């Protein structure tokens, strides 16, 4: 029952140019002053002793506890979660700042191994909880209101009951976790260490991906070919990581009796498989009305007979090469947040002033962007790779949305603050929407409005269409892996089988594009995570439509939803807004907003 906080890199982290001001770096001293700090050593010592004492006090005894005793047990477990999470947050954030630094990598590995060793005696906790009698547990909840607050946590734990293994096997899998983590580290270090050459200069992955949004088509083509070259040279390593992790998952799922590779993700997300299936089907059926239609428009704007993959994120011809300085980006986002509710801007302010953001692109730094919640008695940290383009402003708005959400949910405590991934994207995507709407309101002419609308549609396609295509890729990959080892060509073929369907007939596909699955971190760090983006976007579109239709009292309901963290199911959280994600029509409502923006863009052509 150990819930270590872990950042998952966001999918659409931006790109851009130099010359955007002084960028902030993390100050991690709110966690620990240094890796050899006495406070850190004291916490490691405490954790080792407390895990042992916890097991001695409660193993084989949970069924004998009264409500007050079980509540005290939960409180002690939560404190263990907090200290372990604090240690791993510090180690992990230092590592993500410089993944190719051997000392930082060793420090994180050593911390992970120690915490895994210390917490192995705790494996009994969830196993015994799942053996408790339902009626007895209900009586405990009825008689103890503070314990009853944790019922959603118990419910999520007990949802795993049908898939639980023996105590000995569960402890074995717990200990083996550090081996699986090693494959994730191999992926991170390989990605961060890749070197690309363009026009005689050397770049990392972020700087090279940046060229795919350059105004100059020749530069975009050169970058795409260089990405393909380097991915191709390293494809055996990436294929080995995917093969190993997919096989490990298949073995564990088979032993647990999970019916599909996706089952574990749905359970951890506290979402029903049929809801995800309804979302997936709604998006796939909308491909022709969304991505296919938009990219055909973009093909005409670019004056091309055929689009190439390096044109997918190209700027529009009428778009000026704009660099957004850091101070301007900060003002845009905080003004948009304050326009919705001043409390949003207040919650975001310390990220800028107190060392809670690491924004610059640096050698060895992990690619992408994330907001890491750390632990509930510290604060979140946001990582960006800020390169000054308007899309980077949206990434800042997105990650600050996560940060605000995490701050609001923190009073729930370690076990209840963590929001299931399907709802974890709500505040981030809502923050993007607020920022976009603010920019749209202040557009000075039709040309600027068109650029803003097109940019938003592209972001939504990347968040909805592209992520559902990623989800389909993962489903096919894990299914194919059950039949045996996959060669790089096998994985390449699976990737290409979903690309044309999602992007549409406007595109041709360069040689080498078949390897572009290799750099997506979600496939390695968090299998089947990606549908959470589409879930979040559809949810926010429906929420924003609700805000426009019924603005009275919306802010309070919205804040209440964020403050709830993981203490309520999505049905409960959406009920005050009159929304229900289990209704298939719900997703059509969200997708219709994207269609509306494309309609407006098409009307501008007349």
Mean pLDDT of 121-146: 93
For residue range 60-111, what is the model confidence (pLDDT) as tens digits?
Answer: 999 999 999 999 999 999 999 999 999 999 999 999 999 989 999 999 999 9
Domain boundaries, given as residue ranges, for the chain: 38-158
| pLDDT of res. 355 | 96
pLDDT band at 533, cuts 50/70/90? confident
DSSP code of residue 387: -
| pLDDT of res. 589 | 84
Report the interhelical angle of 446-463 vs 584-603 (nearest 10°). 150
| pLDDT of res. 15 | 38
Report the interhelical angle of 390-409 vs 446-463 (nearest 10°). 60
Asked if pLDDT for residue 445 goes beyond 90, the answer is no
Burial (CB < 10 A; 0-12, 13-18, 19+), residue 375, is buried
For residue range 236-247, what is the model confidence (pLDDT) as tens digits?
Answer: 999 999 999 999
CA gap 52, 406 in Å, rounded? 30
DSSP code of residue 3: -
Residue 393 main-chain phi, psi, to 5 deg: -65, -40
Quick one: 38-158 is in which CATH superfamily? Oligopeptidase f, N-terminal domain (1.20.140.70)
**Residue bearing tokens 């029509």:** 585
For residue range 278-311, what is the model confidence (pLDDT) as tens digits?
Answer: 999 999 999 999 999 999 999 999 999 999 999 9
CA gap 596, 604 in Å, rounded? 13
Compute the C-alpha angle 385/388/393, nearest 5°. 80
Question: What stretches of 322-415 adopt beta strand conformation (E)?
Answer: 357-358, 370-372, 381-383
| pLDDT of res. 174 | 84
For residue range 367-386, what is the model confidence (pLDDT) as tens digits?
Answer: 889 999 999 999 999 999 99
Alpha helices, DSSP H only, in 3-101? 38-58, 67-97
Question: What stretches of 134-178 adopt beta strand conformation (E)?
Answer: none
| pLDDT of res. 206 | 85
DSSP code of residue 590: H
Asked if pLDDT for residue 6 goes beyond 50, the answer is no
- How many other C-beta atoms can be found within 10 angstroms of the C-beta atom of residue 79? 15
What percent of the chain lies above the pLDDT cut of 70?
97
> Comparing 78-92, 120-134, 228-242, 576-590, which segment has the lowest mean pLDDT?
576-590
| pLDDT of res. 1 | 40
């Amino acid at each position: 029952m150990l819930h270590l906080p872990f950042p998952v890199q966001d999918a659409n982290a931006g790109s851009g140019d130099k010359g955007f001001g002084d960028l902030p770096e993390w100050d991690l001293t709110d966690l620990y002053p240094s890796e050899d700090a006495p406070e850190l050593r004291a916490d490691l010592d405490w954790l080792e002793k407390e895990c042992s004492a916890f097991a001695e006090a409660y193993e084989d005894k949970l069924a004998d506890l009264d409500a007050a005793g079980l509540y005290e047990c939960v409180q002690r477990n939560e404190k263990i979660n907090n200290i372990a999470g604090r240690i791993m947050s510090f180690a992990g954030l230092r590592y993500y700042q410089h993944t190719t630094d051997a000392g930082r990598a060793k420090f994180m590995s050593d911390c992970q191994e120690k915490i895994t060793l210390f917490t192995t005696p705790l494996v009994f906790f969830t196993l015994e909880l799942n053996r408790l009698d339902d009626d007895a547990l209900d009586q405990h909840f009825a008689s103890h209101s503070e314990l009853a607050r944790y019922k959603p946590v118990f419910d999520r734990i007990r949802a795993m009951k049908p898939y639980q293994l023996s105590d000995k096997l569960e402890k074995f899998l717990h200990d083996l976790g550090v081996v699986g983590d090693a494959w994730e580290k191999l992926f991170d270090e390989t990605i961060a260490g890749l070197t690309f050459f363009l026009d005689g200069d050397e770049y990392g992955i972020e700087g090279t991906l940046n060229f795919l949004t350059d105004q100059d088509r020749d530069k975009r083509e050169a970058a795409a070919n260089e990405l393909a070259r380097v991915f191709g040279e390293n494809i055996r390593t990436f294929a080995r990581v995917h093969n190993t992790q997919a096989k490990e998952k298949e073995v564990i799922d088979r032993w647990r009796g999970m019916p599909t590779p996706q089952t574990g993700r749905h359970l951890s997300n506290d979402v029903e498989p049929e809801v995800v299936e309804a979302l997936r089907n709604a998006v796939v059926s909308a491909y022709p009305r969304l991505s296919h239609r938009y990219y055909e428009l973009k093909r005409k704007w670019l004056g091309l007979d055929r689009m190439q993959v390096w044109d997918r994120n190209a700027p529009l011809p009428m778009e000026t090469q704009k660099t957004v300085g850091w101070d301007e980006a900060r003002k845009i986002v905080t003004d948009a947040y304050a326009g919705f509710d001043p409390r949003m801007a207040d919650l975001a302010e310390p990220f800028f002033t107190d060392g809670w953001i690491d924004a610059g692109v640096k050698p060895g730094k992990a690619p992408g962007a994330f907001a890491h919640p750390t632990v509930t008695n510290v604060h979140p940290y946001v990582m960006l790779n800020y390169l000054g383009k308007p899309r980077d402003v949206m990434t800042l708005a997105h990650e600050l949305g996560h940060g605000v959400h995490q701050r609001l949910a923190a009073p729930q405590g370690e076990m209840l603050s963590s929001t299931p991934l399907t709802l974890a994207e709500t505040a981030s995507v809502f923050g993007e929407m607020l920022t976009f709407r603010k920019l749209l309101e202040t557009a000075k002419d039709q040309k600027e409005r068109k650029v803003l609308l097109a940019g938003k549609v592209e972001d939504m396609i990347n968040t909805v269409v592209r992520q559902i295509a990623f989800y389909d890729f993962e489903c096919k990959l894990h299914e194919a892996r059950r039949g045996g080892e996959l060669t790089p060509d096998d994985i390449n073929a699976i990737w290409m089988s979903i690309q044309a369907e999602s992007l549409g007939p406007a595109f041709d596909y360069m040689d080498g594009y078949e390897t572009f699955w290799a750099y997506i971190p979600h496939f390695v760090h968090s299998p089947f995570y990606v549908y959470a983006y589409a879930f979040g976007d559809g949810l926010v579109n429906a929420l924003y439509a609700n805000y426009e239709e019924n603005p009275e009292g919306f802010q309070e309901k919205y804040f209440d939803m964020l403050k709830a963290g993981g203490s309520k199911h999505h049905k409960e959280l959406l009920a005050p807004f009159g929304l229900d994600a289990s209704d298939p029509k719900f997703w059509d409502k969200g997708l219709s907003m994207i269609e509306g923006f494309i309609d407006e863009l098409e009307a501008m052509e007349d």
